[in-house]
Structure 1
Amino acid sequence: MKAMASTSGLLLLLAVVAGGTSVLTAAAAAAESPKPTPWPHQFHSILFVNYSGSLSLIDLWYDWTNGRNFNIVQDQLGKLLYDLEWNNGTSFFYTLDSTKECRSAQLDVGILRPNWLDGAVYLGQENVDGFLCNVWQKVDFIWYYEDVITNRPVHWVFYTGRSIHVMTFEVGAVLEDAKWQAPLYCFKKKDTQADYKLDVGYLEPQLQSILRASTQL
C-alpha cells in the first residue's frame, strides 16, 4: 500500500510539474512574441495604394517631433491633392493648381503617435511583396506587415480592402518648414467649396480618429 501511495504521489507531483512547465512555456512564448517597431519620429515614405482597383501614390512626410504629418497624393490620371495634418487636430485638404480648392477639418485628436501599434495582436509570419514579415492586427481594422530582418514597414491593409505598399522608407528625412504652410485661400471664408474626395491619406478616413484615439496617453 505504501508503495502504491508513493507511486501515486510521484505521478501527482510529475503532473503538477508538467502542468506548471506548460504554463511557463505558454507565458514565455507570449512574452517572446515580436512587438511592432514604433515609427521613427521623422521619416519620408513613398506609398503605393490600391483600393478596389483605384490606384494612387502617396508622398508621406511624418514629423512627430514637430507635431505634423503630410500626405501628398497623386491619384492615377487624377488630381494632385495635399493632406496636411497637425497634432492639434487641424487638417487641411487642398490643391495647388488654378482651382484653389481647399477644405479643413478639426479632429478631437492629433496625428498618429509613433507607438500607435501598441496593443496589436501578433498573428505570425507571412511573405508579402517578396519580404518575410511579422504580422499584427490592430483593433480589428488594420493588418500591419513589418520586415523581419530590417523592422521596416512593408505593407498594411484595412478591413475595407484598401491596401498600402511601402515603396521607400527614409528614416530621419524632414521636409523643409516652408512646405508645411497651407495656402492663404484655405483661411478665407467661402460660400461654396469644391467637391472632391477627402479620403486621400494613408489611413481610412473613418478609422483615423479610432486609431489615433487608441494610442493617446
Structure 2
Amino acid sequence: MANIKHKLRLSPATMSLFYFSLFMLLVVVSGDTIRMKTILETSDEQLKEEPKPTIWPEQFHSVLVMNNTKTNELQVVDLWYDWPNRRNLNLIQYQLGKKLYDVEYDNHTSYYFTRDATRECRTVHFDVGILTPDWLHGATYLGQAKVDGFLCNVWTKADFVWYYEDVVTKRPVNWIFYTGRSFHVMSFEVGAVLQDSEWQAPVHCFDKKQNSILGLSHQLLKPSAPMGSLIDRSVFPFV
C-alpha cells in the first residue's frame, strides 16, 4: 500500500477516504453474507419444521356439530373411533328428527339403523375399511388459519377434505368436505371406549324382509373424488 501511495502521490486526506471506503465495502459485504446465511438457515428450518397432522389416537370419543353450508342442515354426531377392534360408530342426531346409528367395521360392512319404533335398518357393503389412525399421511400443508376461535394448522388431502388442527393442543378442531359439510369438534376424549352392547345391530337388522343389503363401490359413491368412499364410509356418512 506504501508503494501505491508513493507512485500515485496520494494526499493524506485522499488516503483516509480510500481506507474508509475500503472499510465500508468490507462491512457491506460481510453484512450481506450474514443476512444471506440467515435467510438460508431460516428457509432450511422452515422446511424442516413444516408441521405434520397428528396421528389419531387408537380410541377416542368426539362430539361434533355438522353444519351443511349449502343446505343449512344441522346434525350432532357422537363419533366413537375404536381402531384396536377395527370399528367406528357415528351416532347421528338430526335436528328435530331421528337418531341414526352408523356402525362401521373394517370388513367393509356398515349398519345404519334406529332403535326406536321405526325399526329402520339397512346394511351397506363398501370396498374399503375404516380409516387408519394415520389416514392423513401425505396430506398437503396449507399454512395456518383461525377457525372457531382457534389458531390451526391446515391440511388438505385429495382436494376432498380440509383438516384443521389446534396449533397448541394438536387436537382436531374442524373438518370441511368439498360438499359443504363442516364438522366442528366440540369435545375430544382420548381413550374413551363405548360399551360393546351399543355396537350391536338390533334384531330387526337381520330380518331379510326389512333389511336391504347394498353393495357400493367408491366409484358409485363419489365418482369425482378418488378418496370419496375412504372418508365418507369410514367416519362421516352422507357427506
Identity %: 58
Give, as a single letter, the amino acid of the residue that structure 2 aligns with 1:181.
Answer: Q
Partner of 2:60: 43
Aligned positions of 1:33-112 closer than 5 A: 33-51=50-68, 52-112=71-131
Query: Displacement of 1:99 after TM fit?
Result: 1.4
Q: How many equivalent pairs are there?
A: 186
Partners of 2:123 and 2:211 within 8 A in 1: no
C-alpha separation in 1, matches of 2:140 and 2:198: 37
Q: Note closer, same or farther for the CA distance 1:192–1:88 as it changes in structure 2 (3 Å cut).
A: closer
Query: Displacement of 1:31 after TM fit?
Result: 2.8
User: Which residue among 139, 142, 149 is the counterpart of 1:123?
Assistant: 142
Partners of 1:55 and 1:76 within 8 A in 2: yes
Give, as a single letter, the amino acid of the residue that structure 1 aligns with 2:53.
Answer: P
Give, as a single letter, the amino acid of the residue that structure 2 aligns with 1:81.
Answer: L
Deviations along 1:42-61, one digit per CA (max 9) or x if unpaired, are 00000000013100000110
Give, as a single letter, the amino acid of the residue that structure 1 aligns with 2:65.
Answer: F
Structure 2 unmatched runs, 5+: 1-32, 213-220, 234-239
Query: Displacement of 1:26 after TM fit?
Result: 4.9
Deviations along 1:88-119, one digit per CA (max 9) or x if unpaired, are 11100011111111001111221111000001
State whether structure 2 residue 155 is matched by structure 1 residue 136: yes
Partner of 1:149: 168
SS, match of residue 30 in structure 1: helix
C-alpha separation in 2, matches of 1:112 and 1:188: 29
C-alpha separation in 2, matches of 1:158 and 1:97: 30
C-alpha separation in 2, matches of 1:191 and 1:73: 21
Partner of 1:174: 193
State whether structure 2 residue 169 is matched by structure 1 residue 159: no
Partners of 2:121 and 2:210 within 8 A in 1: no
Structure 1 unmatched runs, 5+: 1-14, 194-204
Runs of 4+ displaced beyond 6 Å: none
C-alpha separation in 2, matches of 1:109 and 1:161: 23
Partners of 1:110 and 1:212 within 8 A in 2: no
